[in-house]
A and B are shown apart, each in its own frame.
Chain A
Amino acid sequence: MTHKLSGDNLTLIRGERCLFEDLSFALESGSLLILEGRNGCGKTSLIRAIAGMLSLEEGTVYWDDVPVEKVRQTFHGSLVWLAHRTGLKGDLTLVENLGFERSLRTHSRQDPEEVYERLGISRLKKLVLRSLSAGQQRRVALARMLLSDVPLWFMDEPFTNLDREGRVLVMELVEEHCSKGGMCVMAAHQDVEIKVPTTRVKIQ
């Protein structure tokens, strides 16, 4: 089954500033949407608006051609969001944090150990998140993405804090996800080279 995410004439005004106007995009299973623009231009706001957390001034976001407000639960059940703030609890261990996420959305049948191994975090399992470095916390947030079984990935600046191998790994993961029929919306201000059908949206 393929999915489709599209936005139609999106306009967002924050305070007195118009972040974007008449912005449209369409994204299908197996492809990647990259939101480009300088710092503070509204990439994160656009992702938040698509996810239904900010109300748009004008325009509608559609999931499988239905406005997302009408299918909020299905839509939220189909997405996972790697935000700038990881949303992980500093006082809990990696396993406790990810265990909590498991009860929120559908989780993948993949063995968690394999995922930890691949992300290079398997020896950090017993440590509380607070004691990990920013990059390692980022990797834990990636583990949350991989362990949830959803088609739509939102990634807000996924390369922040990651080392070179980490960045390559993220690109590999996105490639893999898209080749399995997933889709990905990524906000990035660096050059991203991922070999999947890519649409770029530039925010002025």
Chain B
Amino acid sequence: MNTPTISEGQREIPGIFFGLAATTKRDLLLAWKRPGDVLNPLFFFAMVCTLFPLAVGPSAEQLEFSGPGVLWVAALLATLLSLNSLFISDFEDGSLDQLLVSPQPLPMLVLGKTLAHWLTSGLPLVLVSPILAITYRMPLSVVGVMMLTLGLGTISLSLLGSIGAALTVGLHRGTALLSLLILPLAMPIMILGANAVSLAATNDIYSTGIWALGAYAIASLSLAPYATAAALRISNE
């Protein structure tokens, strides 16, 4: 076999978006092959939302009043549930080490992973939520607002959660710690989201909440990947 010589920088390292796209693609492929990981949080979300009316009683007034809150709490908890596995398998099989010694900037690779996480956890929640919202007698106009807040909120949750997941990756059974770390940052998202939906339901001005959620999402998008990358380097030492 003729073996070509090493080409000393004639060809370049693939661009940063290749790294991002490749990690996203790989994680989506993994999710596709193990659908259980995707379905578990979704199932949890649906269970909480359907069980709640059974417990508090089916009166229309009560359901309309509690709907936004219940949906948001369930969405927050479902996202927290799915965050734990974000880096664990990479850590265990050594692919995290390989990512750390790759020439691609780590924040971009992390962003790729987080994007895949949102596509497999946040987005399904958003898509399923209208069905559940209807059981809470939510009018269609409010359902749209709820989907928007859930969409923006889960983006922030995935990004913020990736920091916590990175910090706790080296600890076994770090789930409780992860939740504790993330909750203070996640609480405002839930409050803003649930409030905006409640305001929309009473025909009040709700746009403030949406803008605030958008700002939160942008801030997390620009800061979280760096924090996560730094946290991964520390916990993988």
Contacts and interface: CB of A to CB of B under 8 A. Distances in A.
Interface of A: 1, 48, 51-55, 73-74, 76-77, 79, 81, 83-92, 96, 100-106, 108-110, 114, 118, 128, 149-151, 176, 180-182
Contacts of B94: 83-87
Contact of A87 (B7, B34, B95, B236): B95
B93 A110 contact: no
Contacts of B61: none
A61 B159 CA distance: 34
Given A55-B237, A104-B19, A108-B4, A89 B101 contact: no
Contacts of B26: 89, 92, 96, 100
Given A53-B236, A180-B5, A76 B22 contact: no
B102 interface: yes
15 contacts: A53-B101, A76-B101, A87-B95, A87-B96, A89-B93, A91-B33, A100-B25, A102-B14, A104-B98, A104-B104, A106-B12, A106-B13, A118-B1, A128-B33, A150-B6
Nearest to B234: A55
B103 A105 contact: yes
A56 to B, nearest CB: 11
A181 B5 contact: yes
B185 interface: no
B172 interface: no
Interface residues of B, number: 40
Nearest to B31: A91
Contacts of A92: 26, 29-30, 33
B5 to A, nearest CB: 5
A101 B1 CA distance: 23
A52 B100 CA distance: 9
Given A53-B237, A91-B33, A106 B11 contact: yes
A86 B90 CA distance: 11
A74 B101 CA distance: 11
Contacts of A83: 94, 97-98
Interface string B89-114: 00011111111111111000000000
B18, B34, B93, B98: most-surrounded residue (chain A CB, <10 A): B98
Contact of B103 (A53, A104, A149): A104
